[in-house]
Structure 1
Amino acid sequence: MKPLWKLLRSHLSVAQTVGFTLAGVVGMTVVLTALQAYRDVMPVFRAPDSFVRGDYLVLSKRVGTLQTFGLGGGGFSDEELRDLREQPFVREVGAFVPAEYRVKGSVGAGGVGFSTYLFFESVPDRFLDVQTEAWRFDPAQREIPIIIPRNYLNLYNFGFARSQGLPQISEGLFKRVTLDVELSGAGRSEHFRGRIVGLSNRLNTILVPESFIRWSNERFGGGSAAKEPLRVIVETDGPADERLTTYLADKGYEAEGGAPDDGRAVRLVRLAASGVAGVGLVFSVMAFYMLLLSIFLLLQKESRKLETLLLLGYRPGRIALPYVSLTLGLNLAVWCGALLLGWVIRAQYLPLLETMQEGYRPAGVALTLLCGLVLALLLTALNAVAIRRRIGRLGMRKE
């Protein structure tokens, strides 16, 4: 084996080796960094309070003349809900359940009392973008947990409070506000304590737990038969999907708010990660061919000596071993260098992600390590096959 190594070292170009290593490190660094950055960013998008968590639409039917005069229901029938759930771009459908009684809320602030009529609705818990252990109702405690839209607080702070000379309220203080809630209906009137447990960026309604809505509708709404929901919330694969747009137009459904644009953020991240990784793969392929070309040049320079070794009984695989070992060592060195540079780059963007989400936890690095190792071994295997064939051709030519 020593003569083979001496033969390899005698014409090994340091400049070509360094050039391959640098190109390989750049390529693999781009690939692995793109993969790891994508996995680190996705927890921000998937967080329950993220503005791009999933793709959600609130659907309703257009109000027509019959509904204006109280002659039409305007709700979603069981058949329509079933058809909606069966669409390939729909993941889940949930119905809004409204309160069927009168709700009046009162609160005092800064010596000034407020009193207004309210409305309560509920949706299945999986559609909430607020996580809290207080989201439950116990009739014995007489306390109602409430989630309100965040823009309600913004309207008060930057609109009403300023025009009326009232103090602005922080989110933390706002959650400590206790409402006096009066429910009346079916010949009953009772007082409850309302407590704001969260602010929603997704749903523009005053939410209470489903258990409370069903209990209170039975008690204050007369226990009437379940009505068709007037609004439904839909989790989709992507509101920007043309199939969804066509479906809503055909059915005459209206989507509330600007949700159809939300899914594009995730798609943009995926597209950017794919594009960057593609550029990295191009660099890796170029490095692969650079190393392969360098080794082929070595084989060409030493072709006569290699032919002699073949005549002496050396097998092509044994002759190829030093060259394959060289490519393996270089590819592993490239992998280690790429991991080091990737770690440096990751240390720069992780603090930014931590500021975007409270309690942020980055993704693990095991998958990135494995992908880098697989890429290095794959390039080595391709080089080994090419080298083995090249040496085999020398033997055939000699014969």
Structure 2
Amino acid sequence: MTLLWKLLRCHLSIAQTVGFALAGLVGMTIVLAALQAYRDVLPVFNVPDSFMQGDYLVLSKRVGALQTLGLGSSDFTSAELDELKAQPFVRDAGAFTPADYRVKGTVGAGGVEFSTYLFFEAVPDRFLDVGTEQWKYEPGDREIPIIIPRNYLNLYNYGFARSQGLPQISEGIFRRVSLGIDIAGNGRTERFRGRIVGLSNRLNTILVPESFIRWSNGQFGQGSEKQPSRVIVETDRAAGAAVSDYLARKGYEVEGDRRDDAKAARLLRLAAGGVGGVGLVFSAMSFYILMLSVFLLLQKNSGKMENLLLLGYAPVRVALPYQLLTFGLNLCVLLAALPLLWLVRGWYLPELAVLQEGYSPAGVGVTVLCGAALAALLSLFNAIAIRRKIDSLNRKKS
């Protein structure tokens, strides 16, 4: 084998080999970095409110002059809800159930009590973005679990507290706040205790369990079931043109503007696909450079190989040195790409950690396996091409 290799490597071009190695290294690094970056970014986008997972849209009808004069309704009818649920982009939909009575909240601080009128609403539990085992209510309980929008706490900490010289409140302390809840309606008044069990990023309302709303509406409400005026919709994609067109046609308004999220989602997918595509182009270029180098080497050594075949060397044995050469080069490219991948991850991982508390990146095992598979696939293609070239010389000799 050693003597055979010494004979065949005479015309091996170092420049062509280095050119293949550089092109292969660039291509392999880009492919592996794109794949690993995609896997590292997924934990950020897999949170419940990620626009990559679709949107949760809170819909309401526009309030016009007729509603202001009391001559029109902004509620959703059963037919409208059924039509909305039948839309192809809608994965699920649920109605907000409002409290049909007056609510007053009181909180004490330093011996001074502050009170204000509140409003309660409920949504089906499947639309909540706060996971808690405490989200339940049984008739007769004097304590009500409450979910508050996170922006309420932010408004207090970064707006009201700073302007009034008051201390800011952490989320942990805010959860320990106990509210006095006075409910009045239907000729009755009762006091409950409100306990904050979570902060919502998705729903901009004061939420209580559906079981409490149903019970309290029966006790303090007017006794008639009302049509919902707001609906929450889970879509199967980021809010794109089809969703926006439908909502505009029906005259529905969306809380918050998610159009930029849809654009960002599309741009992210295009960027990931573009980077991976560039890497594959470089890998294809390196493959062709290597094949051209090997074919040129085979052409220069064709006379020697024909002589070896005439001497009785099997085509498999003649092709083996060239196949080992391509395999070794592909292996070296893979091994050199892994440290570069580590450097690229060290650059972008701190940026991802800032975006999500407790961020945990994906492992590199899958990426390394994909890189090994790509190197093996390229080596296989090279081996097949080399063997076909040797076989053609053997047929010519025959």
After TM superposition, the score normalised by the length of structure 2 is 0.89
Pair 360,136 (structure 1): closer, same or farther in 2 beyond 3 Å: farther
Pair 52,169 (structure 1): closer, same or farther in 2 beyond 3 Å: farther
Determine the C-alpha separation between the residues in 2 that align with 1:95 and 1:364.
40
Matched, 1:121 2:121: yes
Counterpart AA for 1:363: A
Identity of aligned residues (%): 69
Counterpart AA for 2:88: P
The aligned counterpart of 1:214 is 214
The aligned counterpart of 1:266 is 265
Determine the C-alpha separation between the residues in 2 that align with 1:217 and 1:325.
79
The aligned counterpart of 2:188 is 188
3-state DSSP of counterpart to 2:9: helix
What are the Cα deviations for residues 138-165 of structure 1, in whole angstroms up to 9, with x where unaligned?
4454222222222222333344445555
Determine the C-alpha separation between the residues in 1 that align with 2:103 and 2:51.
30
The aligned counterpart of 2:286 is 287
Matched, 1:353 2:349: no
What are the Cα deviations for residues 121-145 of structure 1, in whole angstroms up to 9, with x where unaligned?
1222333233333333344542222
Determine the C-alpha separation between the residues in 2 that align with 1:104 and 1:52.
39
Given that 1:46 and 1:54 are in contact with CA atoms closer than 8 Å, whether structure 2 keeps it comes out as: no
The aligned counterpart of 1:371 is 370
Pair 208,381 (structure 1): closer, same or farther in 2 beyond 3 Å: same
Report the more deviating stretch, 207-216 or 158-167. Answer: 158-167
Report the more deviating stretch, 329-338 or 158-167. Answer: 158-167
Count of aligned residue pairs for this structure pair = 398
Pair 163,338 (structure 1): closer, same or farther in 2 beyond 3 Å: closer
Report the more deviating stretch, 67-76 or 295-304. Answer: 67-76
Report the more deviating stretch, 237-246 or 113-122. Answer: 237-246
The aligned counterpart of 1:17 is 17
Pair 122,53 (structure 1): closer, same or farther in 2 beyond 3 Å: farther
TM-superposed deviation, 1:290: 1.7
Determine the C-alpha separation between the residues in 2 that align with 1:314 and 1:83.
76
TM-superposed deviation, 1:304: 0.7
The aligned counterpart of 1:325 is 324
Matches within 5 A, 1:33-44: 33-44=33-44
Report the more deviating stretch, 45-54 or 152-161. Answer: 45-54
3-state DSSP of counterpart to 2:249: helix
Could you tell me which runs of 5 or more consecutive residues in structure 2 were left unpaired when the two chains were aligned: none
Determine the C-alpha separation between the residues in 1 that align with 2:97 and 2:334.
56
Determine the C-alpha separation between the residues in 1 that align with 2:264 and 2:42.
11
Pair 215,156 (structure 1): closer, same or farther in 2 beyond 3 Å: same
The aligned counterpart of 2:274 is 275
Given that 2:53 and 2:236 are in contact with CA atoms closer than 8 Å, whether structure 1 keeps it comes out as: no
TM-superposed deviation, 1:38: 1.2
Given that 1:55 and 1:262 are in contact with CA atoms closer than 8 Å, whether structure 2 keeps it comes out as: no
3-state DSSP of counterpart to 1:133: coil
The aligned counterpart of 2:389 is 390
Determine the C-alpha separation between the residues in 1 that align with 2:79 and 2:314.
73
3-state DSSP of counterpart to 1:10: coil
What are the Cα deviations for residues 350-392 of structure 1, in whole angstroms up to 9, with x where unaligned?
3443343223222233331232122112211222232223233
TM-superposed deviation, 1:328: 1.9
The aligned counterpart of 2:91 is 91
Determine the C-alpha separation between the residues in 1 that align with 2:384 and 2:154.
65
Pair 195,51 (structure 1): closer, same or farther in 2 beyond 3 Å: farther
Pair 114,323 (structure 1): closer, same or farther in 2 beyond 3 Å: same
Matched, 1:7 2:7: yes
Provide the aligned C-alpha RMSD in A. 2.6
Report the more deviating stretch, 323-332 or 115-124. Answer: 323-332
3-state DSSP of counterpart to 1:83: helix
The aligned counterpart of 1:253 is 252
Counterpart AA for 2:190: E
Counterpart AA for 2:199: L
Determine the C-alpha separation between the residues in 2 that align with 1:242 and 1:52.
16
The aligned counterpart of 2:75 is 75
Report the more deviating stretch, 44-53 or 82-91. Answer: 44-53
The aligned counterpart of 1:152 is 152
Determine the C-alpha separation between the residues in 1 that align with 2:214 and 2:317.
78
Report the more deviating stretch, 256-265 or 113-122. Answer: 256-265
Matched, 1:173 2:173: yes
Given that 1:56 and 1:259 are in contact with CA atoms closer than 8 Å, whether structure 2 keeps it comes out as: no
Given that 2:52 and 2:237 are in contact with CA atoms closer than 8 Å, whether structure 1 keeps it comes out as: no
Given that 1:148 and 1:196 are in contact with CA atoms closer than 8 Å, whether structure 2 keeps it comes out as: yes
Given that 2:239 and 2:258 are in contact with CA atoms closer than 8 Å, whether structure 1 keeps it comes out as: no
Determine the C-alpha separation between the residues in 2 that align with 1:324 and 1:377.
12
TM-superposed deviation, 1:315: 4.6
Report the more deviating stretch, 241-250 or 259-268. Answer: 259-268
Given that 1:49 and 1:130 are in contact with CA atoms closer than 8 Å, whether structure 2 keeps it comes out as: no
The aligned counterpart of 1:304 is 303
TM-superposed deviation, 1:94: 2.2
The aligned counterpart of 2:29 is 29
Counterpart AA for 1:143: E
Determine the C-alpha separation between the residues in 2 that align with 1:228 and 1:388.
75
Counterpart AA for 1:288: F
Given that 1:149 and 1:204 are in contact with CA atoms closer than 8 Å, whether structure 2 keeps it comes out as: yes
Pair 152,70 (structure 1): closer, same or farther in 2 beyond 3 Å: same
Could you tell me which runs of 5 or more consecutive residues in structure 1 were left unpaired when the two chains were aligned: none
What are the Cα deviations for residues 43-95 of structure 1, in whole angstroms up to 9, with x where unaligned?
11222366876422111112244433434443223332232223222222222
Counterpart AA for 1:152: Y
3-state DSSP of counterpart to 2:182: strand
Determine the C-alpha separation between the residues in 2 that align with 1:156 and 1:110.
18
Moved over 6 A (4+): none
The aligned counterpart of 2:337 is 338
What are the Cα deviations for residues 187-218 of structure 1, in whole angstroms up to 9, with x where unaligned?
33221111222222222211122232223223
